[in-house]
């Protein structure tokens, strides 16, 4: 029987587990990726801690986590409740808000750069012509992270709303009707019936948000490359830059380890949840 599992397991171990262990090892070596690695002890970590860009990248990861634990979650919760009340619009609207999720990140990033944020061809340009003075947020180190987050929120929140809607639809209609007969308005219904009803799904999505927020790479790399002036740098772009543009794989590996460490706590909670859940279903 174990032959059935072997191919998938073998591929996964070779592509993910072995290199992951090597990354952990590489963090203790000075290595350019090509030559012979030289033992360096904790040098990579010491250099990293001394680098202010590392700290601003880490801070940005925390800001990103805070943004994604709140903004898209609130939008999605309210939207899911709204769709629950509008059964006729549900199917079409669900597909519309899901659509951004299936468009490639590279394409989404470029569309927002050109059509929204660009001071020459975007909505920002249009607003400037119509009496609002807004500069390109992507060119401003203080605002670039938030601008990229806005793009990712556009891409993400609708998917989240569809997940929450699916969970809300599992709540029994009787329960909702009973609350309504008791005179519960929208907010009471939301607070006392819908929210508790989807709390397992909500918890899971919040944990995944924490895990993903420490891994965030694509949108930032595509839209700003971590710039300008490292304003939107996160650990993943920091590591990528060190590995491939500065030829310092050891340093990149150290950053990747730190990144994984933060995700690890959330992963532990995630695995606990999944496994108790799994024990019930099998």
Partner 1 sequence: MIGDRWSRTFALGLIGVASFSSLLPIALAIMNALKTTTEIGSNPLALPTQMHWENFSSAWRNARLGPSLLHSAEVASLTILMVCVTATPCAYVLARQKGKLWRFITFYFMATITVPVQLYLYPLYFIFAKLGLVNSIPAVALIYTAMFSPFAIFLLRTYALAIPVALEEAAQVDGARPWQAFWYVILPMMRPGLLTVAIIVGLNAWNEFVIAVTFLQNDSNVTAIVRFYNLTGQYSTDWGEMLAAAVTIVLPIVAIFVLLQRQFIDGMTSGAVKS
Segment 134-163, which members bind partner 1 (CB under 8 A)? 154, 158-159, 161-163
Among residues 28, 156, 214, 230, which is the contact residue for partner 1, using CB under 8 A?
214
Give CA–CA dist 135/138, Å, rounded: 9
What is the nearest approach in angstroms of partner 1 to the Cβ of residue 219?
10
Helix axes 87-102, 52-85, angle to 10 degrees: 160
Is the distance from CB of 231 to CB of 144 less than 8 angstroms? yes
CA distance readout (Å), 44 to 52, 111, 214, 258: 14, 38, 20, 12
- Element housing 76 (H / E): helix 52-85
Q: Which of 53, 63, 69, 105 binds partner 1 (CB under 8 A)?
A: 105
Residue labelled with tokens 């639809």: 169
Question: With contacts defined by CB under 8 A, how many residues of the chain interact with partner 1?
Answer: 111
**Residue range at the interface with partner 1 (CB under 8 A); choices 43-51, 52-60, 77-85, 140-148:** 77-85
Q: Which residue has the tokens 């601003």?
A: 56
**Looking at 70, 182, 200, 246, which residue binds partner 1 (CB under 8 A)?**
200
| Of the residues 42, 62, 66, 110, which one makes contact with partner 1 according to CB under 8 A | 110
Residue placing its CB nearer to partner 1 in the complex, 196 or 200: 200
Give me the least distance between CB of 149 and partner 1, in Å please: 15
127, 132, 133, 134: CA torsion to nearest 10: -50
55/126 with CB nearer partner 1: 126
HEC string of 137-195?
Answer: HHHCCCCHHHHHHHHHHHHHHHHHHHHHHHHHCCCCHHHHHHHHHCCCCHHHHHHHHHH
Count of CB atoms situated within 10 Å of the CB of 64: 24
Among positions 58, 67, 81, 147, the unique one binding partner 1 when judged by CB under 8 A: 81
For residues 56 and 230, is the Cβ–Cβ distance under 8 A?
A: yes
Give the one residue of 57, 73, 97, 148 binding partner 1; rule: CB under 8 A.
97
Choosing from 36, 86, 133, 181, the residue that interacts with partner 1 (CB under 8 A) is: 86
> Which tokens belong to 78?
């309210």
Q: Give the residue with the Cβ less far from partner 1, 67 or 252.
A: 252
**Binding of residue 172 to partner 1 (CB under 8 A):** no
In the complex, least distance from residue 33 CB atom to partner 1, rounded to whole angstroms: 4
Binding mask 218-257 for partner 1 (x = CB under 8 A): x--xx------------xx--xx--xx----x--xx-xxx
**First and final C-alpha spacing in the chain:** 18
Of 85 and 142, which CB lies nearer to partner 1 in the complex structure? 85
Smallest gap from residue 16 Cβ to partner 1 (A): 5
Q: Which stretch binds partner 1 (CB under 8 A): 43-51, 58-66, 135-143, 217-225?
A: 217-225
Verify binding: residue 112, partner 1, rule CB under 8 A. yes
């Amino acid at each position: 029987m174990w032959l059935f599992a072997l191919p998938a397991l073998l591929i996964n171990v070779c592509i993910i587990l072995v290199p992951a262990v090597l990354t952990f090892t590489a963090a203790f070596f000075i290595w350019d990726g090509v030559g012979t690695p030289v033992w360096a002890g904790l040098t990579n970590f010491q250099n990293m801690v001394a680098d202010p860009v590392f700290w601003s990248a880490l801070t940005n990861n925390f800001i990103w986590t805070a943004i994604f634990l709140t903004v898209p979650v609130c939008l999605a919760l309210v939207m899911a409740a709204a769709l629950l009340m509008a059964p006729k619009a549900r199917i079409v609207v669900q597909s519309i808000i899901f659509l951004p999720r299936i468009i490639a990140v590279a394409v989404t990033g470029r569309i927002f750069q050109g059509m929204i944020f660009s001071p020459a061809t975007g909505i920002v340009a249009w607003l400037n012509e119509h009496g609002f003075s807004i500069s390109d947020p992507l060119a401003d180190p203080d605002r670039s992270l938030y601008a990229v987050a806005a793009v990712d929120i556009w891409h993400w929140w609708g998917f989240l709303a569809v997940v929450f809607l699916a969970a809300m639809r599992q709540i029994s209609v009787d329960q909702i009707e009973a609350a309504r007969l008791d005179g519960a308005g929208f907010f009471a219904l939301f607070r006392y019936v819908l929210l508790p009803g989807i709390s397992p799904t909500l918890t899971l999505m919040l944990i995944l948000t924490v895990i993903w927020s420490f891994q965030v790479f694509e949108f930032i790399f595509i839209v700003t490359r971590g710039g300008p002036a490292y304003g939107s740098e996160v650990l993943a772009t920091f590591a990528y830059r060190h590995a491939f543009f500065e030829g310092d794989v050891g340093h990149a590996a150290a950053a990747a380890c730190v990144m994984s460490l933060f995700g690890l706590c959330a992963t532990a909670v995630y695995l606990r949840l999944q496994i108790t859940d799994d024990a019930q279903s099998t």
